[in-house]
Structure 1
Amino acid sequence: MHSFEARLLGVDQGEVTLFTDYETGGSMWTGHGARARRTRVAFARPFVAPPVVHVSVTLWDFDQSTNARGDLAAEKVDAAGFEIVFRTWEDTHAAQLRVGWIALGPLPNPDDWDLG
């Protein structure tokens, strides 16, 4: 569990199309074995500390002739942003993937003094 000492809780959210490999013949659509795709997301404004980030699939398009295997995660979370990472393996063919995200964390309080 995370606890935030700030009196101001910020919420940021968005959606990212991670890939559309069927259009370009990219590796997620045509490849085999371990593959990954990552994208850096910047928050609308920085948090005071790394927020809690949740990611979820909002659109997926997989080839029906193979198993749909995937691992979706938020990685390298810091106060300014994070990376969305999708991994697949074996013979899975992913045509496209869109990911929604939400971040919750502390914002600067206007009553805080900066003595540095």
Structure 2
Amino acid sequence: MWAGDGNRSLEVRVSFDRLYAYKPEVLLSLAAVDSAREQNLRYDLRVKDVDTNGFTIHFATWSDTRISLATVSWFAFGTAQ
């Protein structure tokens, strides 16, 4: 996400260590970010496709924002099997 302009995104699938009996709630937080200081920092961090096996992290940026590193922390809670 360092090179280029416009919309750029990345998705990563996360698998739970244990299955959940029902679809859990998942919370995300941006733990670290390294970006160019000459541009505004723009990002969109979302949880997608949650099921009992895992979920997908969606991270996006746009315009002239340049991001070289982003670290995401997550927490899932619900009833485990």
TM-score (norm 1): 0.68
Q: Does 1:102 align with 2:75?
A: yes
**Could you tell me how far apart the structure 1 residues matched to 2:44 and 2:74 are?**
15
Q: Does 1:30 align with 2:16?
A: no
**Could you tell me how far apart the structure 2 residues matched to 1:89 and 1:69 are?**
7
| Corresponding letter in the other structure for 1:75 | K
**Could you tell me how far apart the structure 2 residues matched to 1:94 and 1:46 are?**
33
Match of 2:55 in 1: 82
| Corresponding letter in the other structure for 2:10 | R
Match of 1:54 in 2: 27
Matched residues, number:
81
Q: Which runs of 4+ in 1 moved over 2 A?
A: none
| Corresponding letter in the other structure for 1:91 | D
| Corresponding letter in the other structure for 1:85 | H
**Could you tell me how far apart the structure 1 residues matched to 2:4 and 2:12 are?**
19
Match of 1:92 in 2: 65
SS in 1 for 2:63: coil
Whose helix proportion is higher, 1 or 2? 1
**Could you tell me how far apart the structure 1 residues matched to 2:71 and 2:58 are?**
11
Superposition CA RMSD, Å: 0.6
SS in 1 for 2:20: coil
Q: Does 1:63 align with 2:24?
A: no
Query: What is the aligned-residue identity percentage?
Result: 38
